């Protein structure tokens, strides 16, 4: 029997069955804090928003991670998510409207939820729910910082939540198919809060939402950025599909003219799981020199890759439909525009079933990437390092 088991394992290994790891999230605040002193973390109650509704959810993932939900219907799981996690910080309620960041928030001051804010969590909270904990991005900021300035609003557009939810699923599929030994901190659900916020993109009032994702430990002594070796490994795996972690920058040290791709790969302390996909995008061609964000912090002037090295890392033409469906620059990016349309329509008609069909249709392009792995880069050889 033992030899048979070994033979089966050998076949699975040969076929990369264990290539991309599946993430198991922590279940308690103590696991999030690790060995760090509690003074590094803010432990305050969050307040439930009474107008919140689930817009879209990955019910299979929720059932996998939360045993309590395994006998629930999807409708019951929606109620569980809203009751347990559709929360916002007290600070956001107190100052957000007076500072013009958001419209009035309807909440129940008696419905408090235990929440933890780790260091550098500007607009996210870790919330305790029946059966475990989850990470809520867009759950409000702290009063000294709340402003119109980009992420300092403390909030997240519902459209941003849809877009990042979608990218977490796309990146997971791409890494799995490439045979990478990296995985993702995955997304559970998108919640629409039912109030509006002032967008940092164009100053218009847009629906505010919440991205619920797997909880994860971040080593507060290290940078969230993966160092050069692993950033490159991940970027190379993704570029076959046209996916990139990079944003474009024209100023680097004394160089004010060259356009660079700044690789922004963020990973958990497990060193194998990626999170924060808001900056990911899809391109139809890669031409710029590249540098990692950690290198940029160190003000290095020499790019880690140049056009010559990138010449053989172009998107495979068979994945061109990904760019046609989701690609584009800035506010003209197709997935961003479509996510905004879905969020705005949901605000107008509140039709949950229609909205779910539309998000599901948006995600259908991810099925272009085969589900089975087919080999890829070698094992992770470096850890996170402080820039």
pLDDT value of residue 293:
75
Residue 89 CB: number of other CB atoms within 10 A? 24
Higher pLDDT residue, 257 or 49? 49
When pLDDT is cut at 50, 70 and 90, the band that residue 268 belongs to is: confident
* 208-247 pLDDT per residue, tens: 999 999 999 888 777 788 877 888 889 999 999 999 999 8
User: How do 132-137 and 205-214 pair as beta strands?
Assistant: antiparallel
pLDDT value of residue 12:
42
* 159-175 pLDDT per residue, tens: 999 999 999 999 999 99
pLDDT(378) > 70: no
Residue ranges in the chain assigned as alpha helix (H) = 2-14, 29-33, 59-65, 74-85, 90-95, 158-178, 228-239, 293-297, 307-310, 320-326, 334-349, 352-363
pLDDT value of residue 51:
98
pLDDT value of residue 243:
97
Which residues is 134 bridged to in the sheet? 127, 214
pLDDT value of residue 225:
81
Contact status, residue 326 vs residue 243, Cβ threshold 8 Å? no
pLDDT value of residue 347:
96
DSSP letters of 124-156?
A: EEEEEETTEEEEEETS---TTT-SSSGGGGS-E
Higher pLDDT residue, 101 or 386? 101
Whole-number mean pLDDT of the chain? 86
What pTM did the predictor assign? 0.89
Contact status, residue 246 vs residue 263, Cβ threshold 8 Å? yes
CA atoms within 13 A on the CB side of 333: 21
* 188-205 pLDDT per residue, tens: 999 999 999 999 888 899
Higher pLDDT residue, 136 or 270? 136
Q: Which single residue is written with the structure tokens 């003209």?
A: 332
pLDDT value of residue 375:
53
pLDDT(123) > 50: yes
pLDDT value of residue 126:
97
pLDDT(103) > 70: yes
User: How do 132-137 and 187-198 pair as beta strands?
Assistant: unpaired
What is the CA angle 64-68-69, rounded to 5? 60
CA atoms within 13 A on the CB side of 149: 6
pLDDT value of residue 16:
41
* 30-76 pLDDT per residue, tens: 999 988 888 889 999 999 999 999 999 999 999 999 999 999 999 99
Higher pLDDT residue, 17 or 363? 363
pLDDT(269) > 70: no
pLDDT value of residue 383:
31
């Amino acid at each position: 029997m033992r030899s048979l088991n070994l033979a089966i394992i050998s076949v699975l290994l040969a076929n990369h069955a264990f290539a991309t790891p599946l993430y198991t999230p922590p279940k308690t605040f103590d696991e999030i804090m690790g060995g760090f002193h509690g003074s590094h973390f803010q432990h305050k109650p969050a307040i439930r928003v009474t107008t919140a509704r689930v817009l879209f959810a990955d019910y299979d993932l929720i059932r996998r991670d939360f045993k309590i939900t395994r006998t629930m219907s999807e409708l019951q799981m929606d109620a569980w998510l809203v009751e347990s996690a559709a929360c916002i910080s007290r600070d956001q309620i107190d100052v957000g409207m007076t500072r013009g960041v958001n419209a009035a928030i309807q909440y129940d001051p008696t419905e408090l939820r235990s929440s933890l804010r780790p260091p550098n969590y500007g607009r996210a909270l870790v919330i305790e729910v029946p059966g475990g904990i989850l990470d809520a991005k867009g759950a409000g900021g702290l009063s000294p910082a709340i402003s119109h300035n980009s992420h300092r609003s403390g909030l997240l557009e519902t459209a941003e939540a849809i877009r990042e939810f979608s990218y977490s699923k796309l990146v997971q599929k791409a890494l799995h198919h490439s045979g990478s030994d990296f995985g993702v901190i995955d997304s559970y659900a998108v919640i629409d809060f039912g109030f509006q916020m002032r967008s940092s993109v164009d100053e218009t009032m847009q629906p505010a939402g919440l991205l619920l994702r797997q909880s994860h430990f971040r080593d507060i002594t290290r940078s969230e950025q993966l160092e050069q070796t692993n950033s490159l490994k991940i970027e190379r795996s993704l570029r076959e599909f046209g996916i990139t972690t990079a944003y474009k920058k024209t100023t680097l040290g004394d160089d004010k003219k060259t356009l660079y791709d700044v690789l922004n790969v963020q990973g958990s302390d497990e060193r194998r799981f990626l999170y924060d996909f808001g900056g990911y995008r899809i391109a139809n061609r890669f031409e710029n020199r590249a540098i990692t964000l950690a290198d940029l912090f160190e003000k290095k002037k020499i790019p880690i890759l140049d056009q010559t090295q990138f010449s053989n890392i172009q998107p495979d033409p068979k994945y061109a439909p990904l760019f046609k469906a989701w690609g584009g620059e800035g506010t003209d990016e197709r997935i961003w525009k479509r996510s905004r349309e879905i969020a705005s329509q949901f605000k107008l008609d509140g039709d949950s079933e229609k909205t779910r069909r539309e998000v599901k249709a948006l995600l259908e392009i991810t099925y272009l990437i085969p589900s089975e792995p087919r080999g890829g880069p070698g094992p992770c050889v470096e850890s996170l390092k402080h820039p």
